[in-house]
Amino acid sequence: MIVLTPLKKFQFPVHAECINPDVFKGKSVKEIAALPVWEGNKKKKLSDIFKIEETPAETPDITINGDATEVRRVGQGMKNGEIVINGNAGMHLGEKMAGGKITVNGTANGWTGSSMKKGLIEIHGDAGDYLASPYRGSTAGMRGGTIIVDGNVGGDSGCYLRGGTIIVKGNAGPFLGFHISKGVIYVEKNAGGRLGASMTGGKIVVSGAVDEFMPTFTVDGIKKKVKIDDDFKAEGPFYVFLGDLAEHGTGKLFVSQPSNPQFSAIYDKYL
Amino acid sequence: MTELLIKNGFVFDPLSEINGEKMDIAIRDGKIVESVSDQKAKKIDATGLTVMPGAVDIHTHIAGGEVNTGRMIRPEDHVKDVVRKTAITRSGTGYSIPSTFVTGYRYSKMGYTTVMNPSMAPLGAKHTHEELNDIPLLDKATFPLLGDWWFVLENLQKGDLAGCAQHIAWMMETTKGYAIKIVNPGGLESWGFGRNVHSIDDVVPNFDITPREIVCGLAKVNKMLNLPHTIHLHTNNLGIPGNYLTTLETMKALESVPNDGKPICHITHVQFSSFAGENWGNMKSAADEISRYINNHNHMTFDMGQIIFTDTTTMTADGPFEFTLYQLSGHKWVNSDVETETSGGIIPMHYKRKSAVNATQWSIGLEIALLVKDPWKIFMTTDHPNAGPFFAYPKIIAWLTSKKARMATLAKCHKKAQKKSLLPSIDRELSLYELAIMTRAGQAKALGLTGKGHLGVGADADVAIYNINPETLDIAKKYKTARKAFDNAAYTIKDGKVVVKDGEVVQNVDGRTIWLDVKTREQLKVDEEMKRKFKEYWTVEYENYPVFDHYVKVPEAITVKADV
């Protein structure tokens, strides 16, 4: 296992896509120390900004101890192995990752798991905006794998989801699941406005209250339980909505009945 | 006085009929000369290297309204190709629509020295020139879109070719343009009303005129004006299965225009105009029919518009075509420039090997290029960025010069496309000499640029040197090595200055913007009626319309004496 400890509090963003088990594999500490990173507009070596130590433990492959809020692109495109961050993580954590596991014992920043294909990301704090969403302008959303967030997530999370599962145990910001076509998003608490806007398929489940519900969804019925993944079913009852009709979508939106008493006056007559 | 001597290279200069001869090239003050003093001149040892004139691109969208809108709607395109600054070059972004500076650097890196921006809405001319000013290392020119310009339509409708010619002469000066560009003639005007023309005999709304009359009329006008380039035509029904019939009809219609055995029209990105079949399901190649016609006629030149399998951005003044693409793909799109004299659309496009249609398109471009016997008639382009970014040219070079290379790509394509492709039956592999024609000499000749595309005495000292030894390297077999060599020129020399060495930009120089100063016997008088029209229909006043001299950073006016 390689242990990285930041040598200082970073003033500028650090681009460190080299912090990746696939890159570290088979390299000595000396070779790892020489890997290139960018700090602001300066090209540096990994050892210029991190203390690098090797410990005999097998897993996880990489541990970062300390605040890595400014360290971006950790685990980008990783295929195997495990990274643990004991502290906060920076933007684009695990972007386009295709396997392996990342654990953050702290909060994660924007674009965590952006466009990921496979693997597991666990965040034991909050996550920022654009969780699992592709870069601005792109439609290549998350295709597979799992993201679990213990805290809250920001806005525009799960956009263009095409597969995989996102589980949020706190609240979600606005535009959750914008334009998703496949996959599952589950939010244990409340979700922000424009929930599921432009969705054409897939499944969004909200156990808490919903803010500003879109008029382009049609109510289809009530369901007691909804399957999230093989081991977990969310307890309802849930209103079942279909949409987004503005996109001729066939997505399913499950919204908790008890947490949203405002819906009964509007939708109950259609049931 | 600066002197440069390129010693001992294998020179390929088709316009001077030099085919791989070992010789020296002498340069003084930015021009090729007979000889320079052996002691004083700086020397480049080109022993074992291939020396060619600087490459010329006849059709590449690198500046203007559409290009910039394309940049704006595609942040995801830039993020994957970020270019950092160096001590010499500026930072920027690349991929399908590179920023202006990166455009210059990447072209130069491949040995290109002259490029043509083929599509400029006259109302967007100032913007286009501002962007061209910021493209370093290259000589540039831009073609105003005149096929649907109202004064052209009005004059042609009246049958007043001389009047039309005067208006066009005025427009070349006003927009600092170089050639007459025609896109989907009549279609752009129709698109303003949500319609299109579907054959060359459809009538354009509000003007009692057909695409046939526009194309033939402008071809005649082009001749009356003695413009160096022919009319530059993007055909009707572009990108629609079965459109090769329209293309053939257009070419046949142009036979009626007197031509003295010289080309009178350039059909651009001919790949997109050569689809057979009735729908996308049975769409197939019409390369056979099109190339047979080309082989039997001499009044036209062409460029390929070769598909590259990658994620790119399509942009054309052909608004209705882009709308069709939007309906097919459902991708984000922009309908732009309808407020100008043209129309326009931009939509991202990912050409995939595993798509039968895309793979067939890929095959069509190469089939035509290889089936046309005379390399002076067809040139290498990707219609950047429509069929692929320009920096993929070395890939096309590999496909054209090596059957092995194209069969390797074909093997990865959709089965249906593989079955339909004519490529397995074509054994032709272009030589370096033919390649030099398709990438520089032919293009310069078609453009009428007398100082470009050759290394004869008096030519501009634009030279590309590649790390290819024609005696030891068989480019048909070692196509990957050749591709690398064309990707990173050993030297690119612009106006006698070494700007690229071993694929790295080593010096920054400004290129010139070439435009036509057309002298007609009688100059167009901008009368009150014309000013009234500007006031009423244009989005700017007449006074703000022209591109003033100070807009062009390094201008080079070519004076043309017209017959009218």
- Is the confidence at residue B341, as pLDDT, over 90? no
Domains plus CATH for chain B?
3-53+453-505 (2.30.40.10), 55-447 (3.20.20.140)
Residues 6+ apart with CB under 8 A from B170: B523, B524, B526
Q: How confident is the model at residue B267 (pLDDT cuts 50, 70, 90)?
A: very high
* Backbone dihedral angles phi then psi of residue B155, each to the nearest 5 degrees: -65, -40
- Interface test with chain B among A38, A43, A138, A247, by most B beta carbons within 10 Å: A138
Measured between alpha carbons, how far is B270 from B339 in angstroms, rounded to an integer? 28
Over the stretch A15-41, which tens digit does the pLDDT of each residue have? 999 999 999 999 999 999 999 999 998
Give A130 to chain B, closest Cα distance, Å. Answer: 14
Query: Which pLDDT score, from 0 to 100, does residue B365 have?
Result: 97
Nearest-Cα distance to chain A for B348, in Å, is 10
Which residue of chain B comes nearest to A138, CA vs CA? B76
Residues 6 or more apart in contact with residue A211 via CB below 8 angstroms = A174, A190, A191, A192, A193, A195
Indicate the pLDDT class of residue B336, thresholds 50, 70 and 90. Answer: confident
Average pLDDT of the residues of chain A: 95
Mark out chain B residues that contact chain A at CB-CB < 8 A.
73-77, 79, 331-332
Beta-bridge partner residues of B51: B11, B465
CA distance A174 to chain B (A): 22
Tell me the DSSP string of B229-283.
S-EEEE-TTTTSTTTHHHHHHHHHHHTTS--TTS--EEE-SGGGG-EESSSSSS-
Of A135, A139, A140, the CB nearest to B75: A135
Residue of A nearest to B333 (CA): A137
Residue pLDDT, tens place only, B499-531 = 999 999 999 999 999 999 999 998 888 889 999
Per CB-CB distance under 8 Å, the chain A contacts of B76 are 134-138, 140
Mean pLDDT score, A90-111:
96
* CB contact A135 to B (< 8 Å): yes
Task: Name every chain A residue with its beta carbon within 8 A of the beta carbon of B73.
Answer: 137
CA distance B180 to chain A (A): 35
Residue-wise over A203-236: b if at least 16 C-beta within 10 A, else e? Answer: bbbbbbbbeebbebbebbeebeebebeeeeebeb
Mean pLDDT of A162-171: 97
Residue of B69, B71, B76, B79 to mutate, testing the A interface (most A Cβ within 10 Å of its Cβ): B76
pLDDT at B526: 87
How buried is residue B481: exposed, middle or buried, by Cβ count under 10 Å (0-12/13-18/19+)? middle
B1 pLDDT above the threshold of 80: no
Give the closest of B79, B331, B332 to A135, CB-based. Answer: B79
pLDDT confidence of residue B337: 80
ipTM of the complex as predicted = 0.84
Query: B32 has which bridge partners?
Result: B27
Interface test with B, best of A139, A159, A178 (most B CBs within 10 A): A139
Interface touch B74/A134, C-beta < 8 Å: no
Residue A56 contacts B where some CB pair is shorter than 8 Å: no
What pLDDT score was predicted for residue B37? 87
Shortest distance, CA A166 to any CA of chain B (angstroms): 23
Residue contact A136–B75, C-beta within 8 A: yes
Q: Collect all residues of chain B within an 8 Å Cβ-Cβ radius of residue A135.
A: 75-76, 79
Structure confidence by residue, pLDDT tens digits, A220-232: 999 999 999 998 9
CA-to-CA dists, residue B244 to A149, B191, B295, B316, B449, angstroms = 56, 22, 16, 19, 30
pLDDT in tens, B236-262: 999 999 999 999 999 999 999 999 889
pLDDT score of B488: 97
Q: Show the tokens assigned to A208.
A: 């808490």
Name the strand (E) or helix (H) holding B67.
Answer: helix B65-73
Q: Which residues of B touch A140 (CB under 8 A)?
A: 76
The answer, for A138 touching chain B at a CB cutoff of 8 Å, is yes
| Chain B residues with CB-CB distance to A137 below 8 A | 73-77, 332
Residue type, B516: L
Residue-level length of chain B: 564
Q: Considering only alpha carbons, which residue of chain B is nearest residue A140?
A: B76
Q: Which of B22-26, B137-141, B537-541 has the lowest mean pLDDT?
A: B537-541
Does A135 contact B74 at a Cβ distance shorter than 8 Å?
no
Could you give the percent of chain A with pLDDT greater than 70? 100
Give the pLDDT confidence score for residue B481 in this predicted structure.
96
